[in-house]
């Protein structure tokens, strides 16, 4: 009975997510078209003005460049909101979390090195399989690693660890950056909260939404000047399969 209720609740939430995503897509279309027109005309104006050499032309060009940056900022917020709204659309299948992490490390290592950050993976070779939407898990890693990079403006060490604990598959992302105070930690998963100028405030809320959609949890330990650890816990795919078989046999 409990399993049936959970499935009904999941179906209700998926329908709700789908409706929100549809609305978000329509809203994005209505905003993106005029925004693209504005950006195009700003580009054309900038090309004309940059040929001028007067002080007035320089001032006008600076203002146009500011407007272009703000349009790009609006597009980034729009993309982040769409991603946040569409998280309910999962494509789950049994997957090796280590493989996802290794692919991400190959993708991110060069950029992190340019910022003076050493990326150090420690992966459990006997890690059980998990039910994953690999594309969304890649996004989780990207958002958390981006946060870590911003917390280490002068470079540092970033560790990614996988391990098994109490029958669950765990992923830790640890940096030795500037850390966070209690106020920031208490609000960091709230939509549109950001400590950075120009930040969308949707990165960490999206991460939590993705992890919870995987029936997982995410926790954060951080202190000012002591770095930050994000800890993700996901259910073992084999345990989920056994649980589903038990539910079917009871019926």
What was the pLDDT predicted at 112?
A: 92
Structure token pair of residue 9: 């609740």
244 pLDDT above the threshold of 50? no
1 pLDDT above the threshold of 50? no
What percent of the chain has a predicted confidence (pLDDT) above 70?
74
**How far is Cα of residue 60 from the mean position of the Cα atoms in its chain?**
36
Residues in contact with 125: Cβ distance below 8 Å, sequence separation at least 6, in sequence order: 98
Tens digit of pLDDT for each residue in 161-215? 999 999 899 999 999 999 998 888 888 888 666 666 555 567 788 888 889 888 8
Half-sphere exposure of residue 1: CA atoms within 13 angstroms, side-chain side: 0
Q: Which of 10, 38, 33, 73 is CA-nearest to residue 240?
A: 10
Strand partners, 5: none
Give the separation between CA 13 and CA 87, rounded to whole angstroms. 11
| Least confident segment among 31-35, 220-224, 244-248 | 244-248
Strands 228-235 and 168-175: antiparallel
46 pLDDT above the threshold of 70? yes
Going from the N-terminus, what domains does the chain have, and what CATH number goes with each? 2-85 (1.10.287), 93-241 (3.30.565.10)
Q: Residue 118 phi/psi, 5° resolution? A: -90, 125
């Amino acid at each position: 009975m409990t399993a049936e209720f959970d499935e009904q609740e999941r179906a209700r939430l998926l329908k709700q997510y789908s409706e929100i995503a549809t609305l978000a897509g329509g809203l994005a279309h209505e905003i993106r078209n005029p925004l693209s027109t504005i950006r195009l005309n700003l580009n054309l104006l900038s090309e004309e003005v940059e040929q001028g050499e007067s002080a007035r032309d320089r001032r006008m060009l600076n203002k146009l460049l500011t407007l272009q940056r703000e349009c790009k900022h609006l597009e980034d917020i729009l993309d982040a909101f769409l991603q946040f709204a569409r998280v309910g659309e999962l494509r789950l299948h049994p997957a090796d979390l280590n493989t996802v992490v290794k692919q991400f490390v190959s993708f991110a290592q060069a950029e992190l090195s340019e910022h003076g950050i050493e990326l150090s993976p420690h992966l459990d070779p006997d890690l059980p399989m998990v039910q994953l939407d690999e594309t969304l898990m890649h996004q989780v890693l990207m958002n958390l690693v981006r946060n870590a990079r911003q917390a280490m403006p002068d470079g540092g060490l970033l560790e990614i660890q996988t391990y098994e604990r109490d029958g669950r598959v765990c992923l830790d992302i640890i940096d030795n950056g500037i850390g966070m105070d209690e106020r920031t930690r208490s609000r960091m998963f709230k939509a549109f909260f950001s400590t950075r100028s120009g930040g969308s405030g949707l990165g960490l809320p999206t991460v939590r939404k993705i992890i919870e959609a995987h029936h997982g949890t995410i926790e954060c330990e951080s202190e000012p000047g002591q770095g930050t650890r994000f800890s993700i816990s996901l259910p073992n795919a084999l345990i989920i399969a056994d649980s589903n078989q038990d539910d079917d046999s009871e019926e």
